[in-house]
Every structure is written in C-alpha cells, then in structure tokens.
Chain A
C-alpha cells in the first residue's frame, strides 16, 4: 500500500488488486437440496478451498420437510455434519427436529487446498427432503 494525498488534507491508500484481494473478503454461501431421502440417507456437498485462500464459516442451518402431507405432523429428525475431508476433523455436528441453525462464535476455518464437506441427513423413519445452507467468507 502507498499513501497518497487526496487534495483535502487526508491521506488515502492506493493498493494493487492483489493487495486488495488479501484485505477484502468474499462472502460465501453453500446451499444443498436433497429430495426424497429415505431414513438414514441424506445429501452432501464438498468444496475445495482455492490456493491462497482461507474459508471461514460463520453460520449454518439445515432442515427436513416432508413431500407427503400425511407425514407433516410426524417428527422430522435430521442432522448436519461439517467435516474437513483433508484433515479428517469433524468440525460440527448438530441434530434437530425439523432442522436447526447455529452461528459460530468463532468461525470454523478451512485452509487453502483443503476440502470441506457439508452433509445433511434424514434420521426420521419416513422419506423427507433435506436441505442445508452454510455461510461465511473467504479471503
């Protein structure tokens, strides 16, 4: 960064794109829908963090709902798991009836070149649709 006068008595920074990329973070959101999941099944998605970046996850939510109206009043038990596939670390596990949500007090961190996996699965005794949304930023 270089300081430049702005003509109004202040100093401003001029940065290169590479410098700015290191300063600015890119919001990230990951969403998954898996329809018609039998008991014990679910959907998963993976993401490889690009070289030179770090992914910070700040919140996660998940839900389970039934396509058949007759099952709407049953328990829709489901679970969310976040795993770092590269290190093998189970970063987050959460269950809920109908779903759940969490805001991470300290963001979950996945480093450059590592793979993170988000899984939401149906733990009820009937077919449901499951979905997840995990958000954060990357820089």
Chain B
C-alpha cells in the first residue's frame, strides 16, 4: 500500500502536514500498533494537479 493509498483509505491515526519552502507539503501518517512512519512529499493534494514527489517509510 502506498502512502497516498493509506491517506485515501484513512489507514492512520495521526496525520501531520507541514508546508515546505518549495511549496510542497510533507504529509506524515502514523498508526497505533504500526512501528513505521509513512511520509510523502506532495503538491496540489486533492486537486487535479496533485503530484506525489516521493514517499518514504521509516
């Protein structure tokens, strides 16, 4: 499951967003019981111009 899919399906307990200097937003998802942190850098989230720059799982 990609990070974007996790967001679309609501598979998280906590979502954080922080705008970056380049205009993108880093979205961080965490879920209780899951030791991983799911991040994605995205522009235009939920718009027709949405573009996921990259995803990261730690």
Contact = CB atoms under 8 A, between A and B. Distances in A.
Interface of A: 26-35, 43, 45-50, 53, 115, 138
Interface of B: 8-10, 12-19, 25, 32, 45-46
B33 to A, nearest CB: 11
Given A50-B8, A50-B9, A32 B46 contact: no
Given A46-B45, A46-B46, A31 B9 contact: no
Contacts of B9: 50
B50 to A, nearest CB: 11
Given A26-B13, A28-B13, A29-B13, A48 B8 contact: yes
Contact of B18 (A27, A32, A49, A53): A32
A31 B17 contact: yes
